[in-house]
Structure 1
Amino acid sequence: MTDPLSPVQDQPPLHLAVALDGAGWHPAAWRAEGARPGELFTAGYWADLVTEAESGLLDLVTFEDALAVQSVSLRGPDERTDQVRGRLDAVLIAARVAPLTSRIGLVPTTNVTHTEPLHLSAALATLDQAAPGRAGWRPQVSARADDAAHFGRPAPATLAEADLASPETISGRLSPLFDDAAEVLATVRRLWNGRDHDLPVTVLAHARIPYELAARGGDVAFITPRSPDDAAAILTEVATAATAVDRPADRPLKVFADLLVLLDDRPGEAARQKARLDELDGAPLASDAEVFAGTPGELADLLLAWRTVETAGLRLDGFRLRPARLPHDLLAITRALVPELQRRGAFRTAYRSAALHGRLGLTAR
């Protein structure tokens, strides 16, 4: 294994993204020290987060979104009043912060199950005008009954809580939704055809069918490995999916691993803070992604170890970090993790291109 204290040799640039959501990815994040729960629905809050991310030279930020309010239940809204509920529109957030930034990529999440391709195309093309060369897109399917109810549509195939343990079961039951999503992606790209839009499309995927969606219509896949061995297995599945959908060999899919992170300079403190937030929330933090609690240096060790994994012609091109507490963990990423990676020769010291597509090394379609 590469010595974590020595510069990384013969490695392509490491890419870093952050996923922004409310007060952070821990359900009790709004109760953490330094949180700004009273500002979650203000433009200034999001402007501060994105400009901080750009100061850390990050490749892109993603903005979470959904048609219905957050819920711990798969069946619809819950009755909890001790967690954040509601979001601003992700595309509008991205458009609002675009003039305040000049380099970082802006990637909103949009629902493709209940949103017409024409509307998606227009909204994202408008974002591309506000942030030329920096706009991206994360399409998302929805199986929630309360989402469908907004449009007077019947609920899609329902999921039980037990299904959450099996991504393959989930994607299998939702296969028609992913088929529809593939059609939406293709239609949106056709609507962009002939226009000066080169938006990278990112897809969060956990199993074969979503991997095929990413390979068919995406440029970047966000995956959720739990270990280096798991990352190798997923990369093999992604490569198989690319072959199954006849993705051109000269347009390889970029792959980022998602990690939910709690960071603190003091050894053991991040784990203690996680335990405190878990207690406040009434349950241990659960996530589709691996949860990391430690120091920025320890996280740098993990990222550099995981990125050595290579199989089936694919490797981890980067990482999308989900800050558990905002702004605390974002500041730890930009002001501690990034300098540590720079010290090891693993991360840029300046933006060399304002265009997200080129920065990620994506080839034109």
Structure 2
Amino acid sequence: MADVERKLHLSVTLGGPGHHPGAWRASGSVPEEWFSLDFYRRQALLAEEGKFDLLLVDDLPGLGQRARFGAAATSGETGASLARAIRPEAVSTVSALVPFARKIGLAATVPVTYNEPYHVARKFASLDHLTRGRAAWTIALNETDGAIRHYGPNPAKTAEEKEWQAREFADVVKALWDSWEDGALIVDKESGVYADPAKYHKLRHRGRFYTVHGALNVSHPPQGHPLIVGNADAAPGFEFAADHADLILAHRATFEEARELRERAVKVRSATRWLPSAPKVLLNVMPVLGATEAEAAEQAQTLERLAMEIGGTAVSGEGEAAPGLGAVGAAEPAAAANLSGAAGLGVGVKYWTLVGSYEQAAEKLAEWFEAGACDGFNLLPAVLPEGLGEFVREVVPRLQARGLFRTEYEESTLRERFGFFEPANRFERERDKTVRA
């Protein structure tokens, strides 16, 4: 029996034409709008209409070096992969949505490998102020052969070195967010006192990968720290996400695997004293829906054909109709399909393809949530913008009718919405320890 107080969380990841390999050729795709602000604005408003917690804009830092621009290709990238890779930069896109998205959280992917901690800390502290506490950073490596050639080689070579680089990067970013304590800016016109020097802190970091001295020129973010989103199935991986992320995006093929992942994340975080809030696990799901199961299956078949005709990868793996709904606890639910790297959420991402009627989809999502397999779902619309609109109109009301999902926004900040504590400022914590000693 689910806890009646526990509410399901929904996020949506936007990425070009949609997340199915055949999306860019679908009748509902609008390629002439993929780089327009209006394309993203409409989807942000749709997600906000559906009372989604968070909208994520993903990013890839470059194209592969063997990109093919025609139809089928025996090697390199087909049009399907190009359609997913060609996109506007994520932070710019999210920032442009601030005047329109007034309630939903806004997240952007910024890879560790091709950025500096100070740069990232300043961007997301600024975004958190502009959104009044609704910013989130999706952390990833996103290393591709093309990106390495664009930006130069990463000094970290092995997978272990790259994970340690990501850990150091995240630590430095969070320390920079603590440069200013709450109340540090006094701005007293009469006295001429602008700030309290006791609440201003210069970071002096010299580590294996980064050297950063100084403080941000942006005051303490409204959330303390903007939310950090990690991916359990892509580098730097689950252990990093469980240690550092507030939200963990993941794919697990069975109910038992999903519940085990969620329990592991809670255990890892419980051992981290300075991060008291357990992370929330959202399962990646790509719905292919219809008014009836037969209609959904026909839609799935069409998308499979569009992908296979040009040498793309079918969701089913063999160009057959996308699978139907499986039972909770089954050894391998028929609804589960693994697509490595297909969704653009970072190299190696995987997701669950859910094919069925609107009622079946709502029932399946509710079933997994109520049974403790996850804290919610990260929606990867098969085709944009129609996939998101369909989910908002048909599935969200069914989840609301079950009492599992909000009907109105209540909390002001993203942290409050997910039930997270504001992290204690590390410099304030250290000063308090010194005083007590």
2:281 pairs with one of 255, 279, 282: 255
Q: 1:209 to 1:133 in 2, by over 3 A?
A: closer
Instruction: Give 2:57's aligned residue.
Output: 63
Structure 2 match to 1:161: none
Shift of 1:18: 0.8
Q: CA deviation at 1:256?
A: 1.3
Question: Secondary structure of the residue that 2:286 maps to in structure 1?
Answer: strand
Which residue of 1 is the match for residue 399 of structure 2?
341
Deviation at 1:145, TM superposition (A): 2.5
> Structure 1 residues 345, 130: closer, same or farther in 2, change over 3 A?
same
- Report Cα offsets for 1:156-180 as digits up to 9, x if no partner: 76xxxxxxxxxxxxxxx62321211
Q: Are 2:358 and 1:296 aligned?
A: yes
SS in 1 for 2:7: coil
Superposed counterparts of 1:6-45, under 5 Å:
10-45=4-39
Partner AA of 1:61 in structure 2 = L
Q: Which of 292, 306, 314 is equivalent to 1:266?
A: 292
Q: Cα distance, 1:230 vs. partner?
A: 1.7
Higher helix share: 1
Runs of 5+ unmatched residues, structure 1:
3-7, 158-172
Once residues 325 and 114 of structure 1 are traced to their aligned partners in structure 2, the CA distance between those partners, rounded to angstroms, is 29
| Residue equivalent to 1:152 | 152
Aligned pair 1:329/2:355, yes or no? no
Kept in 1, the 8 Å contact 2:95–2:127? The answer is yes
What secondary structure, in the 3-state scheme, does the structure 2 residue paired with 1:201 have? strand
Counterpart CA distance in 1 for 2:58 and 2:296 is: 24
Give the stretch that moved more between structures: 140-149 or 64-73: 64-73
How far the C-alpha of 1:132 sits from its partner, in A, is: 1.6
Q: Report the residue type matching 1:274 in the other structure.
A: A
Please report the TM-score for the alignment, with normalisation by the length of structure 2: 0.72
The 3-state SS of whatever aligns with 1:88 is coil
Q: 1:212 aligned to 2:212?
A: no
Amino acid across the alignment from 2:163: F
Whether the 8 Å CA contact 2:54–2:104 is kept in 1: the answer is yes
1:359 counterpart residue number: 417
Q: 208-217 vs 283-292, which deviates more?
A: 208-217
* Contact persistence 1:110–1:139 (CA under 8 A): yes
Residue of structure 1 in register with 2:314 after alignment? 284
Equivalent runs, 1:78-157 vs 2, <5 Å: 78-81=76-79, 83-84=82-83, 85-153=85-153
Q: Structure 1 131/154 Cα, relative in aligned 2: closer, same or farther at 3 Å?
A: closer
> How far off its partner does 1:235 sit?
2.3
Aligned-residue RMSD, C-alpha: 2.4
Q: 2:161 is aligned with what amino acid?
A: P
Residue 152 of structure 1: how far off its partner (Å): 2.3
Matches within 5 A, 1:223-262: 223-242=250-269, 246=272, 250-262=276-288
Aligned residues between the structures: 336
- Measure, in 2, the Cα distance between the counterparts of 1:91 and 1:241: 30
Question: Mean alpha-carbon deviation: is it higher for 23-32 or for 206-215?
Answer: 206-215
Deviation at 1:357, TM superposition (A): 1.0
Find the counterpart in structure 1 of residue 248 from structure 2: 221
Does 2:38 match 1:49?
no
Distance in 2 (CA, whole Å) between partners of 1:359 and 1:260 is: 24
Alignment-mate amino acid for residue 152 of structure 1: G
CA contact (8 A) 1:261 1:324 kept: yes
For 2:408 and 2:117, the matched residues in 1 are separated by 36
Q: Which residue of 2 aligns with 1:192?
A: 177
Distance 1:116 1:226 in 2: 35
Task: Identify the range of structure 1 (260-269 vs 322-331) with the bigger mean alpha-carbon deviation.
Answer: 260-269
Sort the Cα spacing of 1:71 and 1:41 in 2 relative to 1 into closer, same or farther, 3 A. Answer: farther
Aligned letter for 2:410? R
Partner in structure 1 of residue 343 of structure 2: none
Give how far 1:11 is off: 4.2
Alpha-carbon deviation of 1:79?
A: 4.7
| Counterpart AA for 2:159 | L
Cα shift at 1:332: 1.5
Partner of 1:169: none
Q: Pick which of 324-333 and 270-279 moved more.
A: 270-279
Q: Is the 8 Å Cα contact of residues 145 and 154 (structure 1) preserved in structure 2?
A: no
Over residues 283-316 of structure 1, what are the superposed CA-to-partner deviations in whole Å (9 max), with x where a residue is unaligned?
Answer: 3125211111112211111111111334xxxx62
Partner AA of 2:252 in structure 1: P
Q: Distance in 2 between matches of 1:151 and 1:207?
A: 20
SS of 1:137's equivalent in the other structure is: strand
Letter in 2 for 1:224: H
What TM-score do the two structures reach when normalised by structure 1? 0.85
Query: What runs of 5+ residues in structure 2 fail to find an aligned partner?
Result: 68-74, 181-218, 316-337, 340-349, 424-437
1:224 Cα deviation (Å)? 0.9
Contact 1:143 1:156 in 2 (8 A): no
Which sits farther off after the overlay, 188-197 or 207-216? 207-216
Q: Write the letter of the residue equivalent to 2:49.
A: S
Aligned amino acid, residue 318 of structure 1 = G
2:78, 2:388 → 1: CA distance? 26
Q: CA deviation at 1:151?
A: 2.1
Residues 56 and 106 in structure 2, CA contact (< 8 A), matched pair in contact too: yes
Partners of 1:346 and 1:308 in 2: how far apart?
A: 9
